């Protein structure tokens, strides 16, 4: 079988996966604190090793595996850590992060991290996310670090100190991670991190009355989407041509053998 068919097949699979990544980014264009993903590609390395007693089978497998080494597949995605724009809202419970760092959130699955600073006060007085998960001060204390907000005007300093009527009520914890730390998206802009990898930010910088927009660039994402779609269509046409050629060979050339 022509190795070009394998090239088109591998390419189409990679572009289909890349299409999902771009579509996911565009779907979250207006999601507060969202971090976009970028697709990365790698060469498909197939090894040749005997798998059957049939010598011909092993030879064919070796040839085909070697041919696929030139084809690209989607290696995975990496998160774009570029900060989004801070948009002023005037809501005293909206908090934007200036620079690096994440808020620590206590969820049912454990502590998670986010850049989404649209907070609210629960009926019991705890500072929480829109989903109802408590915002933490020092994440090392877990649920014990939940911030309780008394009734009254709320003031949040750049270092995270939360005051009500001039009295300190708590401190919004801002954490950071060492470069290369694997952060895993879990939906709702929440990220999971390896246990013990989060450290309190040394120089937290928060802005009250602002939220961070998604860092997805709409123009470049649409351009990427169009490019991926066109490449996928081209590879699909190539596969159709190969398939038609295989059918022709099977019905005409092989019939004369």
Domain ranges (residues) in the chain: 3-81+216-256, 86-212
In angstroms, the CA 207 to CA 7 distance is 51
Q: So what's the pLDDT on residue 115?
A: 95
Taking 50 as the pLDDT cut, the residues of the chain under it are 1, 46-48, 50, 55-65, 67-70
For residues 96 and 157, the answer to whether their CB atoms sit within 8 Å is no
For residues 112 and 105, the answer to whether their CB atoms sit within 8 Å is yes
Q: So what's the pLDDT on residue 75?
A: 57
Encoding tokens for residue 93? 């419970």
| pLDDT tens digits for range 29-58 | 999 999 888 877 655 554 445 455 554 444
In angstroms, the CA 31 to CA 229 distance is 24
Q: Nearest 10 degrees: CA dihedral of 151, 152, 154, 155?
A: -130
Q: So what's the pLDDT on residue 201?
A: 92
- Reported pTM: 0.74
Q: So what's the pLDDT on residue 176?
A: 95
């Amino acid at each position: 079988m022509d190795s070009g068919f394998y090239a088109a097949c591998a390419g189409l699979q990679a572009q289909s996966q890349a299409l999902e990544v771009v579509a996911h980014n565009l779907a979250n264009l207006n999601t507060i604190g969202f971090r976009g993903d970028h697709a990365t590609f790698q060469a498909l390395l197939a090894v040749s090793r005997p798998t059957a007693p049939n010598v011909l089978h092993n030879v064919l497998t070796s040839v085909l595996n070697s041919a696929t080494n030139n084809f690209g597949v989607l290696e995975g995605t990496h998160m774009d850590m570029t900060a989004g724009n801070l948009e002023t809202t005037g809501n005293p419970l909206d908090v934007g992060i200036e620079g690096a760092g994440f808020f620590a959130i206590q969820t049912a699955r454990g502590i998670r991290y986010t850049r989404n600073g649209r907070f609210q006060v629960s009926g019991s007085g705890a500072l929480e996310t829109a989903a109802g998960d408590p915002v933490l001060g020092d994440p090392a204390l877990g649920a014990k670090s939940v911030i309780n907000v008394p009734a009254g005007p709320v003031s949040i300093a750049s270092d995270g100190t939360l005051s009500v009527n001039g009295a300190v009520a708590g401190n919004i914890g801002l954490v950071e991670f060492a470069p290369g730390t694997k952060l895993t998206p879990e939906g709702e802009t929440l990220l999971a991190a390896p246990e013990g990898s989060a450290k309190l930010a040394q120089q937290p910088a928060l802005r009250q009355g602002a939220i961070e927009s998604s860092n997805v660039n709409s123009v470049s994402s649409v351009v990427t989407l169009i490019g991926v779609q066109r490449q996928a269509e081209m590879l699909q046409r190539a596969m159709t041509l190969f398939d038609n050629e295989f059918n022709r060979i099977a019905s005409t050339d092989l019939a004369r053998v």
